[in-house]
Chains A and B, each alone.
Chain A
Amino acid sequence: MKLYKKEGNIIQILSFQNETAEKGDYLLVEDADAGKALIAQVIDVQFASIPGILEELLRSLPDGGELIQGEDFDPLEIAPHITYIQDASLLVCKIRATVENESLIPSSSWLPSRSQSAIKKLPIPALIKLAKIDGKLPIILGGTKDSSLLTIDATSLDGRLNIITGKKETGKSHLSKLLMLNLVGYKASVVVFDLNGEYLSLGMTADGKRNAYHDKIHILTPSQNFKVALKQLNLHVLLEILIHALHLPGTSAREFRRIWQSLKEKDMLNMHELGEAIRNCHCNQHVRDALFSRYYALVNSHFFTDNVAEATLLEECLFKAKERGGAIIVNLRNTSSIDRQIVVEYLLAKFVELLTDSRLKAIFLFAEEAHLYLRETYWDDIVTRMRHFGIFTTFITNQPDTVRENIYRQADNIFLFNFTNEHDLEVVSRAARVDAETVKSIARDLPPHYCLGLGRVVRDFPMVVKVKALDVKTMGETRLFFKDTN
């Protein structure tokens, strides 16, 4: 390989047949005289611009597009040299860092010698060691192209905002399960908003037996084993639900506040008394109707109960998870859109309350397709305010444009699966910790189950990994009509 060109932090390297390098590979451009080396990542592989190549191709097709039949007598065997030149490729590489005195400097301001530099592939294990990617709490993500394991440090997810995105059936949920289980393994508290019931069998192996995580996986299904008593609620939490999930107007909200305080003073906070209080309220008929309609929405959700004993599971699970690690799977499958919003509003408020009081240490929140239940104002709240309380969110989506741009800008880690759509890649490339060329070039060619890790987890050295298989029972498979036919 030969260094050909450098423009900004892009270098172009001329490579020949026997020096194969693919997108995503790392190269070390070593200038022995300067005592430094560049670490560059291949982001595109092109044909080298060889003069006369067009003529060469054209003359092989002169006969109406058919190959002209013939023999070449080439006693000096120059043809292999011609092929060697014609097949030369140009590796477009992004400079990631400079190695000097065995330490990494994020600089690309120097120019290595074009004639003297030695260029070689940098194996992923060497890079991991150099960049100190694997830490004290290793999580094995999977295998890299050179058959080594990519191990990240669980602490690089701690206090961070993560995004897992890619088109359908590329393995996003699989990766989130892997991260989640590893965090649980390190005694972290994990909460999952499970939209499709994909996480419900995480405690089982593929053949249906209990696995090591079985006792640490807690499934909460709203309206079934997960209910809330009004007495456990703060007024502001219920008002958030009424205003944001059920769109209660301001005037009616004021009247509700009055009713609530009156019931609380009398220690009569329950659904039955709330209904009666609204019925007997001396207020405008429209306000009463508005309150009644919301009241019945709450009643019909079956999420609220007057039996406090029925409403203790969430806190129990959270405290168990705090002690020995665990995952609380909030099963939102078969839950209507309004009820989903009610549940999520309640949970987020509850987490903030518990974290503020230091009753919980921190929560790793995994939110699948969050746009389906997260109201507009919560996006900023989650990445700024709630992060300070200790809610560290991982968004999982196959529609990257549903995640707001400022979320991408603040994302610390992005796990990117295949996208072919230019628009989707454009959205993801807005993330502050990645460069658009890398995202657009590498993500487009990722096979299923291969993921491009970006951000702190890989110390800003984007790496492609085949996410390792998990021995857990698969759920959330799409039900097919022609399943038996195949």
Chain B
Amino acid sequence: MQPIPLQARHEETIVAAVDTSSMKIGETATGTLIAVRGANVWKQNKSYHYIRLGPFVFHITEENKREVYNTLQTAYFNTQREQNHQNTPNLLQMPTRIASLLERWLQTMLTKTMNNGLVLFDGSLTSGTADTPTPLMKEILETARKRQIVVLAFSKMTSLRFNGHIITDIPLNHNPPYMLETAGLKTKPPIVLLGDIYVARLTKGNYAFRMDIDKQVVPEQRIEAVEKLLGNDLLSQSYPETLRLAHILCTFTANEVIAMQHFTAQAYGLKMVNRPDMHRLLFGPFGKGDVNA
């Protein structure tokens, strides 16, 4: 494996990033209250800007979950991709599934409104999961390419291994910034890799990330895109500031959760139900609690 050395290119390029977050804010007698929020952050003329959408609060019940999900899908993409009853997410999955819908929509909007820039995704360019339908992901990447946008996806965690090691742990005797191309990774249908996978070590230190770059982009353009990222965004611990800000801006803080509980109680008279923590109840100090509760 040979590292690809990188040099920062300082020609003015817009760097934009998308992230969303979801949160279960409580349980009611009939269902669950969830909130999602998304943020677009971009760096232009040396300063950061953002648009933050939400929080959107949903009261999901067994009765309305399908309707809510399908309505959102239709509203965002003018299509219902999961008409199959079995594909409708269960209550536990709903926060992440609705957040994913919002994230795809934000990514679509960004690629449709920008020109000649870099768009950073949180995660990978793997498609074929319930959250990443292949046609939609392909459509996003295609729109990006048409507008001279290169999509780079950064994963904070990866399970991909090379010679038994997690790919981001592979030590190399080379000074950052550089990226390392991985090859020969195979996936099982319906999972499709829409990007080529790299290990990006963009600053000094021990941090490296899995970085996916659109397969359809020519190798020279890929390198150029990463070099433009180096020249136009702040990088701390190998991670782009734009993406970090997008994450920070959409994450819910504890006081926001309290505020949303206050809002639902005030506006809709919804009462939260405090279900007993069965782990604590049964095992006392040995019960660690249900993380999904």
Contact = CB atoms under 8 A, between A and B. Distances in A.
A58 to B, nearest CB: 8
B245 A85 contact: no
Nearest to A70: B50
A75 B263 CA distance: 13
Interface in A46-97: 50-53, 55-56, 59, 62-63, 66, 68-76, 78, 81-82, 84-86
Contacts of A76: 55-57, 263, 267
Contacts of A63: 47-48
B259 A85 contact: yes
Contacts of B75: none
A78 B48 contact: no
Contacts of A86: 255, 259
B51 A69 contact: no
Contacts of A66: 47
A316 to B, nearest CB: 74
Interface string B52-73: 1111110000000000000000
Contacts of B249: 59, 70
B259 A81 contact: yes
A86 to B, nearest CB: 6
Given A68-B245, A84-B259, A73 B51 contact: yes
A187 to B, nearest CB: 61
Contact of A85 (B52, B248, B262): B262
A69 B256 contact: no
Contacts of A56: 253, 255-256
**Size class of the B contact interface (CB-based, 8 Å):** 20 to 34
A37 B49 CA distance: 53
Contacts of A68: 48-50, 245
B54 A70 contact: no
Contacts of A72: 51-52
B191 interface: no
Contacts of A62: 48, 241, 244-245, 248
A71 B51 CA distance: 5
Contact of B52 (A51, A52, A70, A81): A70
B168 to A, nearest CB: 25
A78 B248 contact: no
Nearest to B53: A73
B266 A81 contact: yes
Contacts of B256: 52, 56, 78, 82
A51 B258 CA distance: 9
Nearest to A68: B48
Interface of B: 41, 47-57, 241, 244-245, 248-249, 251, 253-260, 262-263, 266-267
27 contacts: A50-B254, A51-B258, A52-B257, A55-B253, A56-B253, A56-B255, A59-B249, A59-B251, A62-B48, A62-B241, A63-B47, A68-B49, A69-B48, A69-B49, A70-B41, A70-B51, A71-B52, A73-B51, A73-B54, A76-B56, A76-B57, A78-B57, A78-B256, A78-B260, A81-B259, A85-B255, A86-B255
Sorted nearest first, the 9 A-B pairs with minimum C-beta distance are A52-B254, A52-B253, A70-B50, A51-B254, A81-B259, A82-B259, A52-B255, A81-B263, A85-B259
Interface of A: 50-53, 55-56, 59, 62-63, 66, 68-76, 78, 81-82, 84-86
Given A78-B55, A81-B260, 9 more contacts: A51-B255, A52-B255, A52-B256, A56-B256, A62-B245, A69-B50, A71-B51, A73-B53, A85-B259
